[in-house]
């Protein structure tokens, strides 16, 4: 019985990883991705080689207990530096703050 339950759990998790989130409502897709990230974690490792090969100004950002994100400098307007991540999150630093 335990073998059967383990097999069913593996099939269930494998089928969830193959869901095409572009074919469902955006809110449900975002919720699914958040739950998947919380359960399985983020497997995108950002190492020094990756950062060294980026021809743009870049930085690693970690907020709280969330995953580390790579941000690229999008533009400079006076004393405002605008950084953007791959998922469209913007960070604006004014005078370094």
State percent of the chain over pLDDT 90: 19
The pLDDT of residue 19 is 62
The predicted model scores a pTM of 0.53
pLDDT tens digits along 10-50? 766 665 555 665 666 777 777 777 777 776 666 667 777 87
**pLDDT band of 93, cuts 50, 70, 90:** very high
CA atoms within 13 A on the CB side of 47: 3
Is 95's pLDDT higher than 80?
A: yes
């Amino acid at each position: 019985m335990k073998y059967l339950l383990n097999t069913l759990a593996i099939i269930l998790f494998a089928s969830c990883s193959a869901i095409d989130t572009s074919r469902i409502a955006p809110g449900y897709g975002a919720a699914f991705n958040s739950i998947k990230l919380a359960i399985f974690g983020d497997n995108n490792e950002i190492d020094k080689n990756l950062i060294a090969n980026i021809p743009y100004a870049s930085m690693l950002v970690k907020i709280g207990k969330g995953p580390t994100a790579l941000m690229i400098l999008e533009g400079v307007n006076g004393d405002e530096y605008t950084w953007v991540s791959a998922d469209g999150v913007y960070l604006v630093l004014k005078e370094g703050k």
